[in-house]
Amino acid sequence: MIPKEAIKSEIKKVSSERLEELSRVVQTFTESPPSEGKKTFMVRLREIKIDAPEGFAANRDLYLSGEKTLG
């Protein structure tokens, strides 16, 4: 757990131009408590399944450049 003092120390480093943006983020965070049962971003990300040929991840650069095709 990060102590509040560490967060306050980081806030002091924020430029004046970005304080309004930071304030909106903090307000959003404090106004909406975490929903019970709601999946976190990382949980949802782990659930993504990709329908691709075997070796797709190892050869993704070849697929992106067009040297290999999905068809």
Q: How many domains would you assign to the chain? A: 1
Is there a domain that residue 70 lies in?
no
Distance CA 16, CA 28 (A): 19
How does pLDDT run across 7-24, given as a tens digit for each residue? 999 999 999 999 999 999
Is there a domain that residue 71 lies in?
no
Coil/strand/helix, residue 49: coil
Is there a domain that residue 26 lies in?
yes
b/e per residue 25-60 (b: at least 16 CB within 10 A): eeeeeeeeeeeeeeeeeeeeeeeeeeeeeeeeeeee
Q: pLDDT value at position 1?
A: 80
Domain that holds residue 25: 4-65
Residue 35's pLDDT band, with cuts at 50, 70 and 90, is low
Please say whether the beta carbons of 56 and 63 come within 8 A. Answer: yes
